[in-house]
Chains A and B, each alone.
Chain A
Amino acid sequence: MKTPTRRQFLKTTSLVAGAAALGSALPFSAARAAGLTIGFIYVGPKDDYGYNQAHAEGAAAVKAMEGVTVVEEENVAETVDVQKSMESMINFDGASLLFPTSFGYFDPHILALAPKYPDVRFEHCGGLWSADKHPKNTGSYFGYIGMGQFLNGIAAGHATKSKKIGFVAAKPIPQVLLNINSFLLGARTVDPSITCQVIFTGEWSLAVKEAEATNALADQGVDVVTCHVDGPKVVMETAAGRGMYLCGYHANQSPLAPDKYLTGAEWNWANVYTGMVKTVQSGGTIPNFVRGGLAEGFIKMSPLGPAVSDAARKQFTETHDAIMKGNYAVINGPMKDNKGNVIATAGQSFVETDVALESMDYLVDGVIGSTS
């Protein structure tokens, strides 16, 4: 065993002293650090190249701000565990702003705690906050990331030679269906004969099935793939190994396969979280229902990779600029789903902000797959 360095010694003794100081405090009068203490809770590992990493990158940006203390916990299940993690952050760390980031944390867990801690603000990612149902100290935020998948689709439409693109998806829920449909519709702006094969794995994080699904897509001749699972790493690495082009999701996965990576739809939580924290620091209140897209800086695109052609680059940039102007619609009538039902009549459009898109239950014509 090596002798502890001075730094380690200081760290250890200060922790012991800190723990002792906290131990003497009553549980409900936790020692408050100067300024604002903010808690982030993730359902998976912070370095999953995906959903949780995107949030953790946002938390890291908040950590760098003045006058805030950030506490984090990863791999917290959507059970009584998350309730206790939140309470622990409130009681032991004095957290007054919480970001429990997984969709499943809201109902019933945040809803169970919010009335007990009226001075704590609970900000939840993905939910549909409504004034008549939910406590005032809770709020929901989300981004129009379907637009990012639409841009992914444009890059994919130019890259595909087999005219078959693929999507590895977790569950057939509205947020996922919107991404699948947007991906195909983006590709169809390049060539209307393109089809998109979707495979649902059934779980948010199930590496073996994600690899199997990716291989199955490759076997069927699919040559560009994207996904919507918690951690896209397995899909990206498997697809690159099979020589397919990749469109990323959640975070930037280009380090996994720089030559094959076209672009990716990424969350920009750093911008969103620092904005919310600034609002709280200046004495303001975060609105209870927050949404935003590319223009508002809620999402961003990975830099275009070397495999993106000039024609693709041109169309990508033009569409990107058009989306930045706002009110962009991916679903424009007349349009049918892949069972032949009309989903939009002639002249009918669903712009990105349309709340109807958040309860989507169909796959558009051209997507090969089923929602049930």
Chain B
Amino acid sequence: MSADITAETPAKGTSLQLGHILRRAEPIIISLIAMLAGLALFGLFLLAVGKSPITFYELVYKAGFGSAFSWQNTLSRAAPLLLSALCVALPARLGLVVIGGEGAIVLGGVAAGAAGMYLPGLPGAIGIAAMMIAAAIAGGAWIGAVGAMRHYRGVNETISSLLMAYIAIALMNHLVEGPLRDPASLNKPSTAPIEAAYRIGEMPFLGTHWGLGLGVLACIACWVLIDRTSWGFAARIAGGNTRAAEVQGLPVGRLVIGFTALGGALAGLAGMMEVAAVHGSANASLAAGYGYTGILIAFLARHNPLAIIPVALLLAGFEASSGLVQRRLDLPDATVLVLQGFVFITILLSETAYGRFKLFRPDEWRRK
């Protein structure tokens, strides 16, 4: 992970501003070109199986972004992805690759369901707040433990977070089928339905629940945390070189555990939103793979919390179009996964393009 801390060389007037814009534009332009290359490659793939790429992309546009309903569809799917992507992006700033956000989502959902079940009769806002706190604690403790194992015992966080996601899903199944099961949930074991006052409704005009608003706010807050606070600065230093950060006296342990726990808490909130806004109770439907799509989004956004918003909308739009693509073009549902794969690979490959174009390096212009 490259910590962007190169000192700006003094320059004058407009060329300073232009240089600043160009430096900022580098990741955007390279990512966009890489994405277009991915889409074009996928077009070749479609031609190879005898389908029209133009029709395909028309359908993707139509089903994902072409009408009010399409936008509702896309926004609803994006809501949990914003938070689950942050669970990858925040630890990534410390150089940690955490891929087990799914575990925090399901346990956050179960904790929220349990809180709703055991704390009945409170005013709606307080009940919802209690569910959010329970979910954030469950998710934060789960991924925070990954960070703690990494820091104190040197356990590889990628492997441990993935394995802990499986444990989390097994734990969720045990809880909703055992101690927390509502006896009335016969063929779909679930916790007892939370009461109506604890349900979270839709945002005005958007036709999607407040999880989207929470996700966008969380992305902005995380961007501020990373780019505009000394904590974020310290995290980026530690991500660039842990030893150097320790020598400088930075609290690397607290940073590692804090950032992983924060990421887990946000993923836990995604699970809470699924319970409070969609399902009304916690059950096995919580393990819907949002945690894994979040990995893809965080990497595509290069772990920039603000970039997560458009990337999540784009991938949600792809997923929203999956149905229409299946029905109109008679392609299997995995088609959209192949498309995501192509884009993912071209964007990862584009990492090698950084720093190679003088256009984005204004301080090198005159040195020549």
Contacts and interface: CB of A to CB of B under 8 A. Distances in A.
A77 to B, nearest CB: 5
A1 interface: yes
Contacts of A172: 177
Given A171-B177, A175-B187, A77 B288 contact: yes
B368 interface: no
A73 B188 contact: no
Contacts of A75: 333-334
A19 B62 contact: yes
Contacts of A89: 323, 327
Interface in A68-122: 71-81, 83-85, 87-89, 91-93, 103-104, 107-108
A77 B187 CA distance: 17
Interface residues on A, range: 35 or more
Contacts of B77: 80-81, 84
A21 to B, nearest CB: 11
B278 A80 contact: yes
Contacts of B70: 27
Contact of A16 (B52, B189, B324): B52
Contact of B285 (A4, A78, A92): A78
Contact of A358 (B58, B178, B186): B186
Given A77-B285, A80-B278, A108-B280, A174 B47 contact: no
A283 B67 CA distance: 33
Nearest to B67: A27
Interface in A328-372: 358-359, 372
A372 B173 CA distance: 11
B37 to A, nearest CB: 19
A79 B188 contact: no
B329 A73 contact: no
Given A27-B68, A87-B73, A202-B173, A174 B187 contact: yes
Nearest to A112: B278
Given A91-B69, A108-B279, A19 B76 contact: no
Contact of A104 (B59, B285, B323): B285
A81 B328 CA distance: 18
B187 A74 contact: no
Nearest to A358: B186
A239 to B, nearest CB: 25
Contact of A88 (B52, B73, B333, B334): B73
B326 interface: yes
Nearest to A2: B50
Given A73-B327, A87-B69, A19 B170 contact: no
A111 B177 CA distance: 23
Main secondary structure of the interface of A (DSSP, over half): helix
Interface string A10-27: 001001101100110011
Given A15-B328, A104-B285, A1 B187 contact: no
Interface in B309-340: 319-320, 322-324, 326-329, 332-334
A173 interface: yes
Contacts of B47: 1
Given A84-B73, A108-B278, A108-B280, A73 B186 contact: no
Contacts of A171: 177, 189
A91 B323 CA distance: 12
B55 interface: yes
Interface in B54-100: 54-55, 58-59, 62-63, 66-70, 72-73, 76-77
The 5 A-B pairs with the shortest beta carbon distances in the complex, nearest first, are A27-B67, A78-B285, A12-B52, A84-B73, A75-B333
23 contacts: A4-B50, A15-B55, A16-B55, A19-B58, A19-B328, A23-B58, A73-B326, A74-B332, A78-B285, A79-B288, A80-B76, A80-B278, A83-B76, A84-B72, A84-B73, A88-B69, A89-B323, A92-B327, A108-B278, A173-B188, A174-B187, A175-B187, A203-B173
